[in-house]
Structure 1
Amino acid sequence: MEDRKTPPQKSHGRKTIRATLKPRELMEQTPDLARVWKAQVITLLPEAFPGILGQSLTGRALKDGLWQLVTVALRQFGEGKHRNVDDTPAGGGAGMVLRPDIMASAIDHARPRIAPQAPLIYLSPRGRPFTQAMAKALAAGPGVSMICGRFEGLDQRVIDHYRITEVSLGDFVLTGGEIAAQAMIDATVRLLPGVLGNEASTEEESFSDGLLEHPQYTRPAEWRGMGIPPVLMSGHHGEISKWRQAQSKELTRERRPDLWSAWQALHDQTD
């Protein structure tokens, strides 16, 4: 069990995290890294991290110190022999609700350990939808603190007191906020300088300009009777750009009328 009292933190400068076969060790016994984007996650399941974030490009960037991931175990602030963190809903009803005093203790412990400008987000199905624009905004800041909900949710008084921003991954309900947190962190971390290696790749993908991304093709030139569109093989970059833009518009118009309407409204204002 982790002690609630944390010794004063010292600046260690930037350090490179050593490679390991166990992804969780990417997060353990790691000093704070100066000037590095930090994701701080308050969760009942700290063992769920880094999860997929410890793999591939995000995992390599985590190992190289391009960003940092820290979990705050909510259970350590619980009460009694079993470290209880929840109680029955006021007014009756099914399930349990995370207690405000317990969550407040976790927040008060966590927030001094991250830049004050980092937003505090609660993963909630009733929150504002997470978007690529939000990922860009988070990537431009010093980091983010996230609260992963469980059970029937979090006492509203905590949300009101700390002015927590509620964010939703989509119109569906998960058993907890951990998967949503990892998805949001992944979408943000890949936008940090040096993580992808090819910064231009983020400029042409879906949602970067409000449209869905155009279709992609690669070798072989013909596969099961289907060929690559001739314009992509022409070497004429101007025509290729026009084709891709037209494809993005058509796909967005057909599949995401909401995005298409927003894109049209924006461009009507700028024209």
Structure 2
Amino acid sequence: MNKNLAIAIEASLKAGKVIMEVYDTAFNVELKDDKSPLTEADKKANDIINSYLFDTDIPIISEENKQTDYNVRSKWTDCWVVDPVDGTKEFIKRNGEFTVNIAYVKNGLPILGVIYVPAIKVLYFADVSNNLAHKAQLESHDALIDEVVKNSEILKPKRTDSNEVHVVGSRSHMSQETLDFVENLKQSGKSVEIVSKGSSLKFCLVAEGQADVYPRYAPTMEWDTAAGQAICNAVGVQVISHETNQPLLYNKENLLNPWFLVSK
């Protein structure tokens, strides 16, 4: 296994462990300057992930880190892109649909991705260069890499020749544009079913064949999507910008993503 992928997996599992320790308490919720929620789990998980990634000497973009000025970032050829708790709103709702996202980005594209779902101990991981993404059901947050590999299965997206289309929607961010996308599918004669999920699990549903397409016509940041894009790209699923009709890029001057579409 790629060394950086193994480090990212270990970091995600240890972060997941501390996230669940907070999850089982009466935690407090703060509001950041942008009015998004923040909990002790975000902070503790970020500290753990940073402690693992610092040793790689690869710079880090994390939702919970102070962002490095673009004059410096623009010179980076590679970096980590991290969301310690993706789906903090789902965490607060205690519905289990939150993840740890860690991606390794090179020349603007994610080439390694890890998504950990600590509430159910499910791990997704991918190496785009090998065109392989895996899913592992674990027994413990303390699982070793050998156990992860042993318990993993290869992800395969759905075939795209069916008249029935499963569209991934957001638990918390369903927009009118997404509803219009669904209506256009119906008008073309497709039978449409909505599959709702929180956090980066929406990418995983497409990558593992439980959905066909994920239209995102609402704001996301780079740390929300980088790991999911790596997992999708590894199995031939594309994540295409609505603005450029090209793959989403990372370490941009503005870390806000354009709208995008995830499909085979």
TM-score (norm 2): 0.28
Q: Which has the higher strand share?
A: 2
Q: TM-score w.r.t. structure 1 length?
A: 0.27
Flag the structure with higher helix content.
Answer: 1
